A and B are shown apart, each in its own frame.
Chain A
Amino acid sequence: MTTPTQHYSIIFAGVGGQGVLSLAQLTLEAARREGYYILQSEIHGMSQRGGMVNSHVQFSKTPVSSPIITQGTAQMIVATEPLESLRYVSYLNAQGVIISTKSQLKNFAGYPELDFLMKKMEKLPTRLIDTDPLLQQIGFKQGLGTILLGIASQRLPIQKSTWQTVITDLFLPKGQSVVDKNWKAFELGSSL
């Protein structure tokens, strides 16, 4: 059994406050502008207090009915935190990939050692990115999500110009410089 072609399923994962839902919304809006049927699921409430956050984004040439991605079918998990990148691996399909930062957010007692995470990742199709030097390079500490989105964009059927317009539309209320910095981060990611 294979999933229908052109049904894209992506899980965005991270920690409350990292802007995970914004990444999901950017992707959703970009796909909508490319003419796909879209559906996103997000969880509000308890999880937004520095806890686990995830959002399911799906787009397809045929209507998407379930807000929840079918386990075993996602093309990608995009994670702004390495521990969080491991939480939803059962959703990945056989060709799927995890795109995650290496940079840990240890905001609770009992956060595992990096070795523990690395060992889990050994058996998984993980693209672990050392984002700290990249963020330093562009001088924009808040650019983590958009760098990762840039990397993810390499595998998505969305034109660069569409990404640019959705990033502009989302961040313009915060000023042109925020748009420019995010676009720079996205472009860096898309070239890696």
Chain B
Amino acid sequence: MNEKQVLALGAEAVAMAAFDCGVQALYGYPGTPSTEVFEKGEELFSEDSNRKAIWAPNEKVALEMGLGSSYLGKRAMVTMKHVGLNVAMDPFVNAAMTGVHGGLIVLVADDPGMHSSQNEQDSRFLADFANVPCFEPTTIQECYDLLPRAFEISEKMQLPILFRLVTRLSHARGVLNRHISLPLTNKGIVPDSDLNNWILIPAYARKQYEKLRTKMDKIVSQIGDLNFLSLKSEKIGVILAGQGKANLDQVASEVPELQNYSQLVVKAYPLDEGLIKKLSAHCDKIYVFEESYPYLEDKARLLSQKAKIHGRRDHTIPFAGELNPLVIRQTLGFEIPVPFENIDDLPIRPPRFCDGCGHMDAYQSLNQALEKLGLKGHRVFGDVGCYTMGSQSPFFSIHTCVEMGASVGMTLGAANSGYSPAIGVIGDSTFIHSGLTSLVPFARSKKNVNLLIMDNRVVAMTGQQVSTGHDELESMLIGLGMKKENIHVLSPLPSQTAKNTEILMEVLKKDEPSVVLFRRECVRSLQRGVFKKQKDEAQA
């Protein structure tokens, strides 16, 4: 056995497990708190020319590439943050319908508490909706140990599996035992006998759906050993999953009474409903500790004949935000004194643009242009990335941040409803992620619609990953229908601000679709020599 002890983040533990259990293909789109899974995997895979780790332009494409590798009989893993799964929902739901061939894991990192996200949606609901099993580790070691099991089940049941992390586990650092070493698997291409599984025309799709429901019934017993019930003398029970278990275990190590509580521990879904029924028959009341929506709690409330169910839904636990040991203590009545009260009138230190960042110069030009046109306070549709900070002091240049690519569609929609000039601001990688399709109607709209692309060549916020399709934006824009004369490439530098303001004013006066590329490399990727390194590697 190749056992070695390392220090690792939860995210890195998943990547190491992927390497150690023979994953051949890794795809993803960056997004906190999932990015480190791919990046660690990329580092490990780079030492083996038979493996590939490739950033995709978005999560949908990443999952489709993963499905393609699976079709070829290889083990594949796809990484994304929770809101990325919304983007990948179409292949996610339909990969459950076709089934998979080589094992396919969809690694999704949720963000309870919204440390770096626009919502705290719970991916277990989406797994349930898609009829996809979900694995949920509690510890760094489980991040590693559960993944090979997930691949086994995926291949045996021919189903994709959602492997769920949350921020606190993904970014927890601790000791990990790496004890697995499996070769790359290769089942070969999907055999002729299974060809029709992959053609979801109605006649075949109906059969596949029936198969899928049967698989989901069977899978309960396949993963049954991962969920366990222990009935104790106390008539109080707890249902625990993920960080709910991590937090309760912490409190239990300090409060001996908790050892007498009956427990249902859940590490894999779908859950055998009989376990909830048994627990609820044994207990008078049950507390459910899970991140972040009341998923098990709702199921327990439906199934419980006798026990009263407490959790987020009935506001025993605050509905929003993360669980922590103090919340568990307060909920169960084992409070401890907090000697120093939280100081709640401290000013928040907001994240800010890096010194020398081109986004600041671009926003300055935009603000000046609008002011000179008598349009001070004119609304501008923004998007998701570092440049979202332009919505805050001192710029206040953009007024929306909804989801990846929303700026383009919202700009066009606003123009259709009478807003002129309609202006959107989007980053280059966000544009490639989810703006390209919107640009087709945008370019043909004959409206005063204007898209400012903040082109810094990288996915800056998540650690300056090289943007897919960087340096090729002009030809893409022309290909999508933009007139060449309406594409302007500006350099967002302090020395160019006055000139850029003049050009923007002309652009905004024109009743035609325009795109302005504010192009200057991210100062951080420049400092780190990201492109220089890439060039050197290409030459070597």
Contact = CB atoms under 8 A, between A and B. Distances in A.
A16 B346 CA distance: 18
Interface in B142-195: 167-169, 171-175
A108 B174 contact: no
B352 interface: yes
A94 interface: yes
Interface residues of A, number: 55
Given A4-B253, A68-B322, A87 B343 contact: yes
Chain B interface mostly helix, strand, loop or mixed? Answer: loop
B202 interface: no
Interface string A31-44: 01000011111111
Contact of A108 (B7, B116, B169, B349): B349
B301 interface: no
A32 B7 contact: yes
Contact of B115 (A15, A16, A47): A47
B324 interface: yes
B7 A51 contact: no
Interface in A126-153: none
Contacts of A90: 338, 340-342
Contact of A51 (B167, B172, B173, B350): B350
A38 B174 contact: yes
Contacts of B173: 25, 28, 39-42
B339 A86 contact: no
Contacts of A66: 243, 246-247, 249-251, 324-325
A112 B346 CA distance: 8
Interface in A115-130: 120, 124
A159 interface: no
Contact of B350 (A4, A41, A86, A108): A108
A109 B394 contact: yes
Contacts of B393: 109
Contacts of A43: 115, 167, 171
11 contacts: A16-B351, A41-B172, A51-B352, A65-B250, A65-B253, A66-B325, A67-B168, A67-B169, A67-B246, A87-B343, A108-B349
A91 to B, nearest CB: 8
B386 interface: yes
A192 interface: no
A39 B115 contact: no
Interface in A1-56: 1, 3-4, 15-16, 25, 28-29, 32, 37-52
B22 interface: no
A178 B385 CA distance: 35
Contacts of B339: 72, 92-94, 96
A77 B342 CA distance: 13
Contact of B352 (A49, A73, A96): A49
A96 to B, nearest CB: 8
A111 B346 CA distance: 9
Interface string A64-108: 111111111100000000011011011011101000000000011
B174 A40 contact: yes
A70 B246 CA distance: 12
Contact of A15 (B254, B324, B349, B389): B349
Contacts of A29: 7
Contacts of B324: 66, 68, 70-71
A3 B7 contact: no
Lowest 9 A-B CB distances belong to which pairs?
A45-B116, A45-B32, A49-B351, A66-B250, A51-B351, A65-B249, A90-B342, A70-B325, A72-B338
Most chain B CB atoms below 10 A, which of A16, A39, A70, A108: A70
B394 A65 contact: no
Nearest to A63: B253
Given A48-B351, A64-B250, 19 more contacts: A1-B336, A44-B32, A44-B33, A44-B171, A45-B33, A49-B351, A49-B461, A51-B351, A64-B174, A66-B249, A66-B250, A72-B337, A72-B339, A73-B336, A87-B343, A89-B343, A92-B340, A94-B339, A96-B340
B352 A68 contact: no
A63 to B, nearest CB: 7
Contacts of A42: 171, 173
B370 interface: no
Contacts of B353: 49
A110 interface: yes
